[in-house]
Amino acid sequence: MKTNLISKAVVMLAVVMASVMNFSASASNPTQYVKNEEMTGELMTAKTIFKNEDGRLYRHLRYTYTYDTENRVTSKEASKWDSSKEAWVPYFKMDVFYANNEVELSYARWNSKSNAYDSSIKKTVYEMNDDNVTLMLASTK
């Protein structure tokens, strides 16, 4: 009986120690991300996100932005790095349209079969007040 209790205590202690060691090892080496922003004047035209694993940087995501004449974002395009192709592969695109106190956001995923942004298109319209502050969600499609 006493041996059984000691065995359970030793097993429990081993489990706790293994958990603590595993937690501290993962906490000391988390996946970190490093970003590189490309600017044109005060506007960010692109941002590349790298994974930092043991001091080595690996390409992860890339965002590119376009603006209108009033320096408002008109599109944001995301690409994922494909290490087998050694190339950026389109992921999603968000277009922004401004008109008559409304802002329409159009989101589409990349369709590799048609080579176009036509997969899962979603649209959302926001109503703005005279100070360009969002009043309410007007509609979704």
According to the model, what pLDDT value does residue 101 have?
A: 86
According to the model, what pLDDT value does residue 31 have?
A: 66
What class has domain 5-23+30-140? mainly beta
Among 84, 36, 95, smallest CA distance to 61 is for 36
Extents of the domains making up the chain: 5-23+30-140
pTM, two decimal places = 0.71
CA gap 119, 91 in Å, rounded = 10
Mean pLDDT in each 10-residue stretch from start to end of the chain (141 residues)? 42 43 47 93 97 93 97 96 96 93 92 88 87 74 65
According to the model, what pLDDT value does residue 134 have?
A: 77
According to the model, what pLDDT value does residue 14 have?
A: 42
CA gap 105, 110 in Å, rounded = 16
Among 101, 120, 102, 103, smallest CA distance to 111 is for 120
Per the DSSP assignment, residues forming a β-bridge with 140 are: 124
